[in-house]
A and B are shown apart, each in its own frame.
Chain A
Amino acid sequence: MKKTPNKQKWKTMIIIIGVLFFISWFLAAVISAFSGEEKTFGNVALIPIKGTITTGSEDFFSGYTTSSSRIVDKIEQAENDNSIKAVIFEIDSGGGGPVASEEIARAIERLNKTTVAWIREMGASGAYWAAASTDRIFASKVSIVGSIGVLSSGLEFSRFLEEHNITHIRLVGGEYKDIGSPLKEMTYSEKQLLQKKIDLTHEYFLNDVARLRNLNESTKEEVGTAMIYIGMEAINFGLVDEIGSKADVVFYLEKKLNTTVNVKSYADKKSFLDVLEKLVSAQGFQMGRGMANFLNEKNNLMST
Protein backbone atom coordinates (compact mmCIF):
# COMPACT_ATOMS: atom_id res chain seq x y z
CA MET A 1 0.00 0.00 0.00
CA LYS A 2 1.57 3.36 -1.04
CA LYS A 3 2.30 5.87 1.72
CA THR A 4 1.60 9.47 0.92
CA PRO A 5 4.00 11.88 2.66
CA ASN A 6 2.27 14.18 5.14
CA LYS A 7 2.84 17.39 3.21
CA GLN A 8 1.36 15.86 0.08
CA LYS A 9 -1.61 14.63 2.10
CA TRP A 10 -2.37 18.07 3.48
CA LYS A 11 -1.99 19.61 0.05
CA THR A 12 -4.43 17.13 -1.46
CA MET A 13 -6.83 17.67 1.42
CA ILE A 14 -6.79 21.44 1.01
CA ILE A 15 -7.27 21.15 -2.75
CA ILE A 16 -10.27 18.83 -2.39
CA ILE A 17 -11.87 20.98 0.30
CA GLY A 18 -11.19 24.12 -1.73
CA VAL A 19 -12.75 22.69 -4.87
CA LEU A 20 -15.82 21.42 -2.98
CA PHE A 21 -16.27 24.80 -1.31
CA PHE A 22 -16.01 26.63 -4.63
CA ILE A 23 -18.51 24.30 -6.31
CA SER A 24 -20.95 24.64 -3.37
CA TRP A 25 -20.66 28.40 -3.41
CA PHE A 26 -21.21 28.51 -7.19
CA LEU A 27 -24.22 26.18 -7.13
CA ALA A 28 -25.78 28.05 -4.22
CA ALA A 29 -25.37 31.31 -6.15
CA VAL A 30 -27.00 29.80 -9.27
CA ILE A 31 -29.92 28.33 -7.31
CA SER A 32 -30.35 31.58 -5.43
CA ALA A 33 -30.41 33.52 -8.70
CA PHE A 34 -33.10 31.23 -10.15
CA SER A 35 -35.24 31.32 -7.02
CA GLY A 36 -35.43 35.10 -7.40
CA GLU A 37 -38.01 36.65 -5.11
CA GLU A 38 -39.35 33.25 -4.05
CA LYS A 39 -40.70 33.60 -0.55
CA THR A 40 -42.61 30.84 1.08
CA PHE A 41 -44.03 32.89 3.93
CA GLY A 42 -46.20 35.99 4.09
CA ASN A 43 -49.69 37.17 4.98
CA VAL A 44 -50.69 38.58 1.59
CA ALA A 45 -50.65 36.42 -1.54
CA LEU A 46 -49.59 37.86 -4.88
CA ILE A 47 -51.11 36.07 -7.86
CA PRO A 48 -49.97 37.26 -11.30
CA ILE A 49 -52.35 37.31 -14.26
CA LYS A 50 -50.16 37.98 -17.28
CA GLY A 51 -50.45 37.37 -20.99
CA THR A 52 -53.43 35.92 -22.83
CA ILE A 53 -55.98 34.24 -20.57
CA THR A 54 -56.91 30.78 -21.79
CA THR A 55 -58.46 27.59 -20.50
CA GLY A 56 -55.52 25.62 -21.98
CA SER A 57 -52.16 24.87 -20.38
CA GLU A 58 -49.01 26.91 -20.82
CA ASP A 59 -46.24 25.44 -23.00
CA PHE A 60 -43.33 26.51 -25.16
CA PHE A 61 -45.38 27.00 -28.32
CA SER A 62 -48.29 28.89 -26.77
CA GLY A 63 -46.40 32.12 -26.13
CA TYR A 64 -47.06 34.07 -22.96
CA THR A 65 -50.38 32.78 -21.64
CA THR A 66 -52.10 32.37 -18.32
CA SER A 67 -54.16 29.30 -17.68
CA SER A 68 -57.44 30.04 -15.87
CA SER A 69 -57.30 26.62 -14.15
CA ARG A 70 -53.94 27.46 -12.61
CA ILE A 71 -55.17 30.84 -11.43
CA VAL A 72 -58.28 29.28 -9.88
CA ASP A 73 -56.06 26.67 -8.16
CA LYS A 74 -53.89 29.42 -6.71
CA ILE A 75 -56.95 31.31 -5.53
CA GLU A 76 -58.18 28.17 -3.77
CA GLN A 77 -54.74 27.72 -2.22
CA ALA A 78 -54.84 31.25 -0.88
CA GLU A 79 -58.37 30.64 0.42
CA ASN A 80 -57.25 27.54 2.34
CA ASP A 81 -54.09 29.11 3.72
CA ASN A 82 -54.96 30.60 7.12
CA SER A 83 -51.83 32.73 7.16
CA ILE A 84 -53.06 34.62 4.06
CA LYS A 85 -55.28 37.58 4.94
CA ALA A 86 -55.55 39.21 1.52
CA VAL A 87 -54.74 38.63 -2.14
CA ILE A 88 -53.18 41.00 -4.66
CA PHE A 89 -53.78 40.20 -8.34
CA GLU A 90 -50.94 41.62 -10.40
CA ILE A 91 -52.57 42.10 -13.80
CA ASP A 92 -50.76 42.70 -17.06
CA SER A 93 -52.99 41.21 -19.73
CA GLY A 94 -55.07 42.23 -22.70
CA GLY A 95 -57.67 39.58 -21.92
CA GLY A 96 -58.38 36.27 -23.55
CA GLY A 97 -61.12 33.68 -23.86
CA PRO A 98 -64.51 34.57 -22.33
CA VAL A 99 -64.88 31.29 -20.45
CA ALA A 100 -61.37 31.47 -19.01
CA SER A 101 -61.85 35.12 -17.99
CA GLU A 102 -65.20 34.38 -16.33
CA GLU A 103 -63.72 31.43 -14.42
CA ILE A 104 -61.14 33.73 -12.89
CA ALA A 105 -63.65 36.48 -12.18
CA ARG A 106 -66.00 34.08 -10.39
CA ALA A 107 -63.20 32.52 -8.35
CA ILE A 108 -62.08 35.98 -7.20
CA GLU A 109 -65.64 36.94 -6.30
CA ARG A 110 -66.09 33.73 -4.27
CA LEU A 111 -62.85 34.32 -2.35
CA ASN A 112 -63.67 35.24 1.21
CA LYS A 113 -60.69 37.52 1.77
CA THR A 114 -59.74 41.09 0.87
CA THR A 115 -58.74 41.28 -2.78
CA VAL A 116 -56.94 44.00 -4.69
CA ALA A 117 -56.21 44.29 -8.40
CA TRP A 118 -52.94 45.97 -9.26
CA ILE A 119 -53.01 46.76 -12.98
CA ARG A 120 -49.60 47.22 -14.58
CA GLU A 121 -49.30 48.04 -18.34
CA MET A 122 -52.68 46.61 -19.26
CA GLY A 123 -55.84 45.30 -17.66
CA ALA A 124 -58.23 45.08 -20.56
CA SER A 125 -61.15 42.96 -21.66
CA GLY A 126 -61.18 39.60 -19.83
CA ALA A 127 -58.33 40.75 -17.59
CA TYR A 128 -60.43 43.75 -16.58
CA TRP A 129 -63.30 41.36 -15.78
CA ALA A 130 -60.99 39.70 -13.26
CA ALA A 131 -59.92 43.08 -11.87
CA ALA A 132 -63.54 44.20 -11.53
CA SER A 133 -64.23 41.22 -9.28
CA THR A 134 -61.78 42.46 -6.65
CA ASP A 135 -62.55 44.83 -3.79
CA ARG A 136 -60.30 47.58 -5.02
CA ILE A 137 -58.49 48.37 -8.27
CA PHE A 138 -55.18 50.17 -8.45
CA ALA A 139 -53.65 51.24 -11.75
CA SER A 140 -50.97 53.55 -13.02
CA LYS A 141 -51.99 56.86 -14.63
CA VAL A 142 -51.12 55.39 -18.01
CA SER A 143 -52.24 51.79 -17.59
CA ILE A 144 -54.58 50.62 -20.34
CA VAL A 145 -57.93 49.65 -18.91
CA GLY A 146 -61.37 48.86 -20.30
CA SER A 147 -62.04 47.27 -23.70
CA ILE A 148 -65.21 45.78 -22.26
CA GLY A 149 -66.20 44.06 -25.47
CA VAL A 150 -66.08 40.82 -27.40
CA LEU A 151 -64.08 40.10 -30.52
CA SER A 152 -64.44 37.24 -32.96
CA SER A 153 -62.89 37.61 -36.36
CA GLY A 154 -61.13 35.41 -38.90
CA LEU A 155 -59.98 35.09 -42.49
CA GLU A 156 -62.10 33.87 -45.37
CA PHE A 157 -60.46 32.13 -48.32
CA SER A 158 -63.45 31.48 -50.57
CA ARG A 159 -62.36 33.93 -53.29
CA PHE A 160 -58.77 32.75 -53.10
CA LEU A 161 -59.95 29.20 -53.76
CA GLU A 162 -62.10 30.44 -56.64
CA GLU A 163 -59.22 32.33 -58.25
CA HIS A 164 -57.06 29.24 -58.05
CA ASN A 165 -59.74 26.93 -59.45
CA ILE A 166 -60.08 25.06 -56.22
CA THR A 167 -63.51 23.77 -55.42
CA HIS A 168 -64.67 23.49 -51.87
CA ILE A 169 -67.06 20.56 -51.60
CA ARG A 170 -69.48 21.19 -48.80
CA LEU A 171 -71.18 18.21 -47.16
CA VAL A 172 -72.85 18.95 -43.86
CA GLY A 173 -75.49 17.44 -41.65
CA GLY A 174 -77.11 20.46 -40.06
CA GLU A 175 -77.35 23.79 -41.89
CA TYR A 176 -75.03 25.70 -39.56
CA LYS A 177 -72.49 22.96 -38.96
CA ASP A 178 -69.73 24.81 -40.84
CA ILE A 179 -70.69 28.30 -39.74
CA GLY A 180 -67.55 30.43 -39.65
CA SER A 181 -65.60 28.08 -41.94
CA PRO A 182 -62.87 30.04 -43.81
CA LEU A 183 -63.42 27.93 -46.93
CA LYS A 184 -66.77 29.38 -47.83
CA GLU A 185 -68.33 32.79 -48.02
CA MET A 186 -70.32 33.59 -44.91
CA THR A 187 -73.96 34.24 -45.73
CA TYR A 188 -75.86 37.26 -44.40
CA SER A 189 -77.99 35.08 -42.10
CA GLU A 190 -74.91 33.37 -40.72
CA LYS A 191 -73.31 36.75 -40.00
CA GLN A 192 -76.47 37.82 -38.21
CA LEU A 193 -76.49 34.64 -36.16
CA LEU A 194 -72.86 34.94 -35.09
CA GLN A 195 -73.27 38.62 -34.38
CA LYS A 196 -76.20 37.78 -32.09
CA LYS A 197 -74.04 35.34 -30.13
CA ILE A 198 -71.34 37.97 -29.80
CA ASP A 199 -73.88 40.56 -28.67
CA LEU A 200 -75.22 38.17 -26.05
CA THR A 201 -71.74 37.47 -24.75
CA HIS A 202 -70.95 41.17 -24.73
CA GLU A 203 -74.16 42.00 -22.84
CA TYR A 204 -73.39 39.34 -20.24
CA PHE A 205 -69.83 40.61 -19.81
CA LEU A 206 -70.89 44.27 -19.62
CA ASN A 207 -73.75 43.64 -17.17
CA ASP A 208 -71.45 41.71 -14.89
CA VAL A 209 -68.81 44.46 -14.90
CA ALA A 210 -71.53 47.07 -14.29
CA ARG A 211 -72.80 45.04 -11.31
CA LEU A 212 -69.34 44.52 -9.88
CA ARG A 213 -68.37 48.18 -10.28
CA ASN A 214 -71.77 49.74 -9.53
CA LEU A 215 -71.82 51.60 -12.80
CA ASN A 216 -74.82 53.77 -13.67
CA GLU A 217 -76.62 53.37 -16.98
CA SER A 218 -74.86 56.15 -18.86
CA THR A 219 -71.41 54.98 -17.77
CA LYS A 220 -72.36 51.44 -18.65
CA GLU A 221 -73.40 52.57 -22.12
CA GLU A 222 -70.17 54.52 -22.55
CA VAL A 223 -67.80 51.75 -21.44
CA GLY A 224 -69.89 49.20 -23.35
CA THR A 225 -68.47 50.62 -26.59
CA ALA A 226 -65.33 48.63 -25.67
CA MET A 227 -63.31 51.82 -25.62
CA ILE A 228 -59.92 51.62 -23.96
CA TYR A 229 -59.02 54.14 -21.29
CA ILE A 230 -55.80 55.04 -19.62
CA GLY A 231 -55.70 54.99 -15.85
CA MET A 232 -56.31 58.66 -15.24
CA GLU A 233 -59.41 58.55 -17.49
CA ALA A 234 -60.63 55.25 -16.12
CA ILE A 235 -60.82 56.62 -12.58
CA ASN A 236 -63.45 59.12 -13.76
CA PHE A 237 -65.61 56.31 -15.09
CA GLY A 238 -65.31 54.31 -11.92
CA LEU A 239 -63.31 51.60 -13.64
CA VAL A 240 -60.34 52.21 -11.35
CA ASP A 241 -60.42 53.14 -7.64
CA GLU A 242 -56.98 54.55 -7.11
CA ILE A 243 -53.89 55.56 -9.03
CA GLY A 244 -50.88 53.91 -7.46
CA SER A 245 -48.00 51.47 -7.51
CA LYS A 246 -47.29 48.31 -5.49
CA ALA A 247 -46.21 50.42 -2.54
CA ASP A 248 -49.63 52.10 -2.53
CA VAL A 249 -51.33 48.71 -2.68
CA VAL A 250 -49.28 47.51 0.29
CA PHE A 251 -50.02 50.73 2.21
CA TYR A 252 -53.75 50.33 1.55
CA LEU A 253 -53.69 46.73 2.77
CA GLU A 254 -51.69 47.58 5.86
CA LYS A 255 -54.33 50.14 6.80
CA LYS A 256 -57.20 47.78 6.01
CA LEU A 257 -55.74 44.74 7.77
CA ASN A 258 -54.13 46.78 10.52
CA THR A 259 -50.90 44.81 10.32
CA THR A 260 -47.54 44.76 8.52
CA VAL A 261 -47.86 43.22 5.09
CA ASN A 262 -45.46 40.49 3.91
CA VAL A 263 -46.16 39.61 0.30
CA LYS A 264 -45.88 35.95 -0.64
CA SER A 265 -45.62 35.37 -4.37
CA TYR A 266 -47.77 32.64 -5.87
CA ALA A 267 -46.08 32.99 -9.23
CA ASP A 268 -44.96 29.80 -10.94
CA LYS A 269 -41.32 29.49 -10.13
CA LYS A 270 -38.98 28.50 -12.91
CA SER A 271 -36.39 26.13 -11.60
CA PHE A 272 -33.00 25.60 -13.19
CA LEU A 273 -34.35 22.41 -14.78
CA ASP A 274 -37.36 24.30 -16.28
CA VAL A 275 -35.03 26.79 -17.94
CA LEU A 276 -32.80 23.98 -19.18
CA GLU A 277 -35.84 22.18 -20.59
CA LYS A 278 -37.01 25.32 -22.41
CA LEU A 279 -33.51 25.90 -23.80
CA VAL A 280 -33.34 22.35 -25.11
CA SER A 281 -36.86 22.65 -26.62
CA ALA A 282 -35.98 25.97 -28.25
CA GLN A 283 -32.78 24.55 -29.64
CA GLY A 284 -34.59 21.49 -30.98
CA PHE A 285 -37.21 23.70 -32.61
CA GLN A 286 -34.61 25.93 -34.26
CA MET A 287 -32.66 22.92 -35.50
CA GLY A 288 -35.81 21.48 -37.03
CA ARG A 289 -36.63 24.81 -38.64
CA GLY A 290 -33.12 25.10 -40.04
CA MET A 291 -33.29 21.61 -41.53
CA ALA A 292 -36.70 22.27 -43.05
CA ASN A 293 -35.40 25.47 -44.66
CA PHE A 294 -32.36 23.66 -45.99
CA LEU A 295 -34.44 20.85 -47.50
CA ASN A 296 -36.83 23.38 -48.99
CA GLU A 297 -34.04 25.28 -50.64
CA LYS A 298 -32.56 22.06 -51.95
CA ASN A 299 -35.92 21.04 -53.44
CA ASN A 300 -36.31 24.43 -55.10
CA LEU A 301 -32.82 24.23 -56.62
CA MET A 302 -33.48 20.75 -57.95
CA SER A 303 -36.77 21.72 -59.54
CA THR A 304 -35.46 24.84 -61.41
Chain B
Amino acid sequence: MEFDFSKGKVLKQDASIFKRLFAFILDILIINIVIISPFQKVFLKLINPNSSILEMAQQLQGASSLYSSIFFIVLLSLAYFTFFEFKLLQTPGMMIFKMKVDQELSFGKAILRNLFIIPIFPFYILWVIDPIHLLFRKRRFLEEITNTRTIEEIYY
Protein backbone atom coordinates (compact mmCIF):
# COMPACT_ATOMS: atom_id res chain seq x y z
CA MET B 1 0.00 0.00 0.00
CA GLU B 2 1.41 3.37 -1.03
CA PHE B 3 0.47 6.75 0.33
CA ASP B 4 1.09 9.71 -1.95
CA PHE B 5 0.22 12.84 0.03
CA SER B 6 1.95 15.23 -2.31
CA LYS B 7 -0.63 15.04 -5.13
CA GLY B 8 -4.07 15.20 -3.53
CA LYS B 9 -4.35 11.91 -1.59
CA VAL B 10 -4.09 8.73 -3.58
CA LEU B 11 -4.13 5.28 -2.12
CA LYS B 12 -2.59 2.60 -4.31
CA GLN B 13 -3.37 -0.98 -3.43
CA ASP B 14 -3.85 -4.36 -5.06
CA ALA B 15 -7.05 -4.18 -7.07
CA SER B 16 -10.00 -6.01 -5.57
CA ILE B 17 -11.03 -9.33 -7.08
CA PHE B 18 -14.51 -8.15 -8.00
CA LYS B 19 -13.24 -5.05 -9.78
CA ARG B 20 -10.79 -7.20 -11.69
CA LEU B 21 -13.55 -9.61 -12.64
CA PHE B 22 -15.87 -6.86 -13.87
CA ALA B 23 -13.02 -5.16 -15.76
CA PHE B 24 -12.23 -8.48 -17.44
CA ILE B 25 -15.88 -9.03 -18.39
CA LEU B 26 -15.96 -5.55 -19.90
CA ASP B 27 -12.82 -6.28 -21.89
CA ILE B 28 -14.35 -9.52 -23.17
CA LEU B 29 -17.45 -7.59 -24.26
CA ILE B 30 -15.26 -5.13 -26.16
CA ILE B 31 -13.34 -8.03 -27.73
CA ASN B 32 -16.66 -9.55 -28.74
CA ILE B 33 -17.66 -6.38 -30.58
CA VAL B 34 -14.29 -5.45 -32.05
CA ILE B 35 -12.67 -8.82 -32.82
CA ILE B 36 -15.26 -11.62 -32.77
CA SER B 37 -18.23 -9.98 -34.50
CA PRO B 38 -16.47 -9.60 -37.90
CA PHE B 39 -16.08 -13.41 -37.89
CA GLN B 40 -19.81 -13.96 -37.46
CA LYS B 41 -20.35 -14.26 -41.20
CA VAL B 42 -17.77 -17.06 -41.30
CA PHE B 43 -19.60 -18.95 -38.53
CA LEU B 44 -23.05 -18.36 -40.01
CA LYS B 45 -21.91 -19.99 -43.25
CA LEU B 46 -21.09 -23.12 -41.33
CA ILE B 47 -24.21 -23.63 -39.26
CA ASN B 48 -27.88 -24.02 -39.87
CA PRO B 49 -29.45 -21.36 -37.59
CA ASN B 50 -32.50 -23.59 -37.14
CA SER B 51 -30.47 -26.42 -35.59
CA SER B 52 -30.15 -27.23 -31.92
CA ILE B 53 -26.92 -26.41 -30.05
CA LEU B 54 -25.73 -30.01 -30.33
CA GLU B 55 -26.42 -30.08 -34.07
CA MET B 56 -24.57 -26.79 -34.49
CA ALA B 57 -21.58 -28.25 -32.64
CA GLN B 58 -21.63 -31.26 -35.00
CA GLN B 59 -21.91 -28.98 -38.01
CA LEU B 60 -18.84 -27.06 -36.91
CA GLN B 61 -16.68 -30.16 -36.52
CA GLY B 62 -14.13 -30.44 -39.29
CA ALA B 63 -14.82 -26.99 -40.73
CA SER B 64 -11.35 -25.70 -41.57
CA SER B 65 -12.44 -22.06 -41.68
CA LEU B 66 -13.61 -22.40 -38.06
CA TYR B 67 -10.12 -23.34 -36.89
CA SER B 68 -8.51 -20.51 -38.88
CA SER B 69 -11.03 -18.08 -37.37
CA ILE B 70 -10.38 -19.28 -33.83
CA PHE B 71 -6.64 -18.98 -34.37
CA PHE B 72 -6.90 -15.34 -35.46
CA ILE B 73 -9.44 -14.45 -32.76
CA VAL B 74 -7.06 -15.76 -30.09
CA LEU B 75 -4.11 -13.93 -31.66
CA LEU B 76 -5.99 -10.65 -31.83
CA SER B 77 -7.36 -11.02 -28.30
CA LEU B 78 -3.83 -11.55 -27.05
CA ALA B 79 -2.79 -8.47 -29.04
CA TYR B 80 -5.62 -6.50 -27.38
CA PHE B 81 -4.48 -7.18 -23.85
CA THR B 82 -0.77 -6.97 -24.71
CA PHE B 83 -0.83 -3.66 -26.58
CA PHE B 84 -3.07 -1.91 -24.06
CA GLU B 85 -0.96 -2.98 -21.10
CA PHE B 86 2.26 -2.21 -22.97
CA LYS B 87 1.23 1.28 -24.14
CA LEU B 88 -1.14 2.45 -21.43
CA LEU B 89 -0.56 0.03 -18.54
CA GLN B 90 -4.29 -0.66 -18.60
CA THR B 91 -6.99 -2.13 -20.80
CA PRO B 92 -10.26 -0.22 -21.42
CA GLY B 93 -11.96 -2.37 -18.78
CA MET B 94 -9.24 -1.54 -16.25
CA MET B 95 -9.49 2.12 -17.23
CA ILE B 96 -13.19 2.21 -16.35
CA PHE B 97 -12.52 0.69 -12.93
CA LYS B 98 -9.44 2.82 -12.35
CA MET B 99 -6.94 -0.02 -12.26
CA LYS B 100 -3.57 -0.36 -13.91
CA VAL B 101 -0.35 -2.30 -13.94
CA ASP B 102 2.04 -1.01 -11.31
CA GLN B 103 5.09 -0.53 -13.55
CA GLU B 104 6.29 0.04 -17.11
CA LEU B 105 6.17 -3.18 -19.05
CA SER B 106 8.44 -4.51 -21.73
CA PHE B 107 6.62 -6.05 -24.67
CA GLY B 108 7.70 -9.54 -23.60
CA LYS B 109 6.32 -9.05 -20.10
CA ALA B 110 3.07 -7.70 -21.49
CA ILE B 111 2.67 -10.87 -23.56
CA LEU B 112 3.62 -13.12 -20.65
CA ARG B 113 1.03 -11.52 -18.40
CA ASN B 114 -1.71 -12.44 -20.86
CA LEU B 115 -0.82 -15.94 -22.00
CA PHE B 116 -3.97 -17.29 -20.33
CA ILE B 117 -5.84 -16.16 -23.48
CA ILE B 118 -4.40 -19.06 -25.48
CA PRO B 119 -6.88 -21.97 -25.35
CA ILE B 120 -4.44 -24.85 -25.85
CA PHE B 121 -2.30 -26.99 -23.58
CA PRO B 122 -0.45 -25.99 -21.48
CA PHE B 123 -1.91 -22.47 -21.35
CA TYR B 124 -5.44 -23.48 -20.46
CA ILE B 125 -4.10 -24.78 -17.15
CA LEU B 126 -3.75 -21.09 -16.26
CA TRP B 127 -7.57 -20.80 -16.31
CA VAL B 128 -7.43 -22.70 -13.01
CA ILE B 129 -4.06 -21.64 -11.62
CA ASP B 130 -4.42 -17.89 -12.19
CA PRO B 131 -7.72 -17.37 -10.32
CA ILE B 132 -6.65 -19.65 -7.43
CA HIS B 133 -3.38 -17.78 -7.14
CA LEU B 134 -5.29 -14.49 -7.24
CA LEU B 135 -7.59 -15.64 -4.44
CA PHE B 136 -4.78 -16.56 -2.10
CA ARG B 137 -1.94 -14.22 -3.12
CA LYS B 138 -3.87 -11.18 -4.39
CA ARG B 139 -2.18 -11.41 -7.75
CA ARG B 140 -2.38 -13.83 -10.66
CA PHE B 141 0.22 -16.50 -11.24
CA LEU B 142 1.37 -14.77 -14.43
CA GLU B 143 1.74 -11.51 -12.52
CA GLU B 144 3.92 -13.33 -9.99
CA ILE B 145 6.13 -14.64 -12.79
CA THR B 146 6.49 -11.20 -14.40
CA ASN B 147 6.87 -9.51 -11.02
CA THR B 148 4.04 -7.10 -11.73
CA ARG B 149 0.82 -6.23 -9.95
CA THR B 150 -2.54 -4.83 -10.92
CA ILE B 151 -3.28 -1.91 -8.64
CA GLU B 152 -6.18 0.43 -8.10
CA GLU B 153 -5.84 4.06 -7.22
CA ILE B 154 -8.28 5.34 -4.66
CA TYR B 155 -8.51 9.13 -4.46
CA TYR B 156 -9.76 10.64 -1.30
Contacts and interface: CB of A to CB of B under 8 A. Distances in A.
B65 A38 contact: yes
A41 B76 contact: no
A21 B95 contact: no
A17 interface: yes
A21 B35 contact: yes
Task: Give the interface size class of chain B.
Answer: 35 or more
A13 B72 contact: no
A9 B98 CA distance: 13
A20 interface: yes
B87 A16 contact: yes
A16 B84 CA distance: 8
B147 interface: no
A9 B91 CA distance: 11
Interface in A256-284: 262, 269, 271-273
B45 A32 contact: yes
Contact of A271 (B39, B41, B68, B88): B68
A35 B45 contact: yes
B83 interface: yes
A40 B84 contact: no
Contact of B38 (A4, A13, A16, A24): A24
B66 to A, nearest CB: 9
Contacts of A31: 39, 42, 65, 68-69, 72
B38 A25 contact: yes
B57 to A, nearest CB: 11
A2 B88 CA distance: 10
Interface of A is mostly: helix
A20 B34 contact: yes
B17 interface: no
B79 interface: yes
Interface centre among B42, B46, B65, B79 (most CB of A within 10 A): B65
A2 B89 CA distance: 10
Given A1-B104, A2-B104, A27-B72, A20 B65 contact: no
Interface string B1-45: 000000000000000000000000000001000111011011001
A12 B42 CA distance: 29
B95 A13 contact: yes
Nearest to B41: A32
Contacts of A4: 88
A25 B47 CA distance: 20
Contacts of A41: 46-48, 51, 55, 59
Given A27-B76, A35-B42, A41-B51, 13 more contacts: A1-B102, A1-B103, A16-B84, A21-B34, A24-B34, A24-B39, A28-B38, A28-B69, A31-B69, A32-B65, A38-B63, A41-B55, A272-B68
Interface of A: 1-2, 4, 9, 12-13, 16-17, 20-21, 23-25, 27-29, 31-32, 34-35, 38-41, 262, 269, 271-273
30 contacts: A1-B102, A1-B104, A2-B104, A4-B88, A17-B30, A20-B35, A20-B79, A21-B34, A21-B35, A21-B38, A24-B34, A24-B39, A27-B72, A27-B76, A28-B39, A28-B41, A28-B69, A29-B38, A31-B65, A31-B68, A32-B42, A32-B45, A35-B42, A38-B46, A40-B59, A41-B46, A41-B48, A41-B59, A269-B64, A269-B65
The 7 closest A-B pairs by CB, nearest first: A35-B65, A41-B48, A28-B38, A40-B59, A25-B38, A24-B38, A271-B64
